[in-house]
Amino acid sequence: MNVQSTIEAESSRQSLQQDSQQVEHFDVLIVGAGISGIGAAYHLIHQCPGTSFAVLEAQDSFGGTWWTHRYPGIRSDSDLYTFGYRFKPWTGPPIATAAEILKYMREVITENDLDRYIRYHHRILGANWSDTDKLWTIVAERTDTGEHLRFTANFFWMCQGYYRHAEGYTPEWPEMSAFKGRIVHPQKWPEDLDYKDKRVIVIGSGATAATLVPNIADDCAHVTMLQRSPTYFRVGRNAIEIADELRRLQVDESWIHEIVRRKILYEQDAFTRKTFTDPEGAKKDLMAGVVAYLGPDFDIKTHFTPRYRPWQQRIAFIPDGDLFRSIKAGKASVVTDEIERFTETGLLLKSGKTLDADIIVTATGFNLSATGDIAFSIDGKPLDFADTVTYRGMMFTGVPNLVWIFGYFRASWTLRVDMVADFVCNLLKHMQTTGARKVTVALRSEDEDMPLLDWIDPENFNPGYMMRSAHLLPKRGDKPEWQHSQDYWAERDQFKAIDLTDAAFVYE
Ligand SMILES: Cc1cc2nc3c(=O)[nH]c(=O)nc-3n(C[C@H](O)[C@H](O)[C@H](O)COP(=O)(O)OP(=O)(O)OC[C@H]3O[C@@H](n4cnc5c(N)ncnc54)[C@H](O)[C@@H]3O)c2cc1C
């Protein structure tokens, strides 16, 4: 916990103890108005009409990730047929800009009259469960006025994403302060940043770097993408033939949405399986896309041949090969090396080579924040999620009436939003029918000897932000019920078969 969150935790605990303020009550309180929180709100009004709820969002608008990130070219790397909700057809090209995603989300909000449930500028600081009252008490701070507000809720639905929106992750390199130019993190892209005719180094080669480089390359004097080690990229057209064909035939958009989703998911399933059963074959398929743009003479071995198995980290999609076209045109280049230290004029690399720059962009990732920096407690006792075991990556042993949405990394995040929402709505209806006021998940007698492991198996998926913070996350078991397997295709069937009367659910 950093100093800021310690202060927030303390102030929220103090606020929780003051009972003089007015308290507003809801059946359900949703944290965050990103793609998850807006999806949660949609499903509540459609599947559980009459439920009172509010969405508390720290920022001044909806969108989450797509509102926070403002760097040039910001776009999805999933197709919007599956990153879009199952209930709202996507009608554009599959890869979308942040602005297009926000427009789609605005339509969902307007069409379903969701504005009246969302409260912006409300950052949740603390949440305490009272077993006597069977309620969560939530303290939020108005980010515009500094005022502290209190809410109570029967059910707490965490749609807070997985990283800290306030700041990105920048490693500490020696002598960073010596650099006379500007250092920028893409998560806080300065509006006034003038990169025209400037020499820019982008540190990193994940999806953000791969998006940024081609989008600024034409304006800059030169852009260098500096990576410690190579990443996999998938190259393809930003178009889906079958969608275009069905549109030509004037097929209804809701049909097109469903058909294209099924086709994409079928193909993704086949490719994901191949990365496990035939990793070398999958690697070859991915690399062929890169070679097609850069040609056989390019040093693919050094710069584009990763050391890990495909899909152990996210694979960035490069629409129409734009990154490789910038490299081929000489506007951008890639250097595979490590930083020894910053200098006045740029970077000294471990190889002894120097890179000069006017601007250095640290596309080095996120700070994981799985619980939205909320100080949780149960009957006043601080709760550490690392001491809990997860039920299917959405509930936690010993934590009553709380679900969080943690999506997929290999498939679109939003697929899990719709699935978790079905689960929550079924659970709420079940509790209403049976008169239960509290539900907690608990290991069953047959789970007693189950090994408790880190949230995610590093052999399966191991990006830096997960590995840096694995110790902060809940534990997983080795059975499907007690883990988030990141396998959409298995979970799609498992979720439908969840038995709410199973002994893993304890009701009061
Ligand atoms: C640049 C970028 C591109 C990505 N592209 C893709 C992609 O193409 N496909 C894909 O599947 N995934 C992608 N991801 C992952 C992406 O974050 C998720 O897919 C998805 O947008 C997460 O949605 P969310 O609503 O769960 O969380 P977020 O988008 O992170 O939104 C969470 C919201 O909760 C709010 N919040 C957090 N804590 C609190 C609090 N304490 N009180 C009040 N409000 C709070 C935040 O302000 C934020 O608005 C991308 C991520 C990034 C950063």
pLDDT at 4: 47
Pocket test for ligand 1, best of 65, 208, 374 (most atoms within 8 A of CB): 65
Q: Is 56 in the pocket of ligand 1 (CB under 6 A)?
A: yes
SS3 assignment, position 468: helix
Contacts of 92 (CB under 8 A, 6+ apart): 80, 100
AA identity, residue 294 = L
Q: How many CA within 13 A on the CB side of residue 378? A: 14
The C-alpha angle with vertex 462 and arms to 272 and 82, in degrees rounded to 5, equals 40
C-alpha 113/C-alpha 287 separation (Å) is 46
Using CA positions, which residue lies closest to atom 16 of ligand 1?
65
Q: Does the Cβ of 198 fall within 6 Å of ligand 1?
A: no
216-220 own/partner pairs: CB under 8 Å, 24+ apart:
216/72, 216/73, 217/326, 217/329, 217/331, 217/332, 218/326, 218/331, 219/195, 220/195, 220/196, 220/331
Cα-flanking dihedrals φ and ψ of residue 123, to 5°? Answer: -95, 125
Instruction: Assess whether the C-beta atom of 224 lies below 6 angstroms from ligand 1.
Output: no
The tokens for 96 are: 């979308």
The mean pLDDT of 294-309, rounded to a whole number, is: 93
Whole-number Å distance between alpha carbons of 264 and 183: 39
Task: Please report the DSSP string for 119-175 in residue order.
Answer: ESSEEEEEEEEETTTTEEEEEEEETTT--EEEEEEEEEEE---SB-SS-------TT
**161 Cβ inside 6 Å of ligand 1:** yes
Q: Measured from the CA of 125, which atom of ligand 1 is nearest? A: 41
Distance 32 CA to ligand 1 centre (A): 9
Averaged confidence pLDDT in the chain: 94
Say if residue 313's pLDDT is above 90.
Answer: no
Secondary structure letter of residue 474 according to DSSP: P
Of the pLDDT bands very low, low, confident and very high (cuts 50, 70, 90), residue 228 is very high
Query: Contact at 8 Å (CB) between 202 and 224?
Result: yes
- The preferred substitution site among 413, 415, 417, 465 for testing ligand 1, maximizing ligand atoms within 8 Å of CB, is 413
412 lines ligand 1 (CB under 6 A): yes
CA 450 to chain centre: 29
Is the CB of 34 within 6 Å of ligand 1? yes
pLDDT band of 3, cuts 50, 70, 90: very low
Chain segment 53-111, per-residue pLDDT in tens: 999 999 999 999 999 999 999 999 999 999 999 999 999 999 999 999 999 999 999 99
> Which pLDDT score is estimated for 409?
85
Q: Which atom of ligand 1 is nearest to the CA of 413?
A: 11
Cα–Cα distance measured from residue 356 to residue 92, given in angstroms and rounded to the nearest whole number: 40
Total count of residues recorded for the chain:
508
Q: What is the pLDDT of residue 457?
A: 82
3-state secondary structure of 122: strand
- C-alpha 353 – ligand 1 centre gap (Å): 37
List the one residue out of 227, 235, 234, 213 whose CA is nearest residue 332. Answer: 213
Residue 221: the pLDDT is: 98
Q: What percent of the chain has pLDDT over 70?
A: 96
Per residue in 130-166, pLDDT (tens digit) is 999 999 999 999 999 999 999 999 999 999 999 999 9
Distance, CA 34 to ligand 1 centroid (Å)? 6
Place of tokens 């449930």: 117
Lowest mean pLDDT among 132-146, 316-330, 454-468: 454-468
Higher pLDDT, 316 or 62: 62
pLDDT in tens, 194-208: 999 999 999 999 999
Which of 160, 164, 265, 403 has the most ligand 1 atoms within 8 A of CB, as the residue to mutate? Answer: 160
Predicted pLDDT of residue 337: 98
